[in-house]
Amino acid sequence: MTAHHYLGRRKPYMVGETGTVEDTNRPGRKGRWFRNARDKIKARFPHLHALVYLDYDTSPNEGCCNWRLNTSQSSLRGFRALARDRHFWTRR
């Protein structure tokens, strides 16, 4: 039995760190990733109430990757759609 199955039915939990990057071959993919994450979390992981996003640009130091939220308007809109969803509100 996974921790999700054991704890997920009893108390809220969080993902400690996640992120996504732009795909130059698929414009808008990063924004869709945020909206898909929102929808999947609500449908499959209803007790997941916090998601810590890595908002950092490692490209100057490591040569890869820009994880920041504002790498495109699509990304920023997708993140806002996820963050503004009532499922993630800490006070109800």
Predicted TM-score (pTM) of this structure? 0.82
Burial of 92 from C-beta contacts in 10 A (0-12 / 13-18 / 19+)? exposed
**SS3 labels along the chain:** CCHHHHHCCCCCEEEEEECCCCCCCCCCHHHHHHHHHHHHHHHHCCCEEEEEECCCECHHHHCCCECCHHHCHHHHHHHHHHHCCHHHCCCC
Confidence of residue 43 (pLDDT cuts 50, 70, 90): very high
pLDDT of residue 70: 94
Average pLDDT of 63-88? Answer: 93
Confidence of residue 60 (pLDDT cuts 50, 70, 90): confident
Instruction: Report which of residues 25 and 61 the model is more confident about.
Output: 25
Confidence of residue 9 (pLDDT cuts 50, 70, 90): low
Instruction: Report which of residues 58 and 11 the model is more confident about.
Output: 58
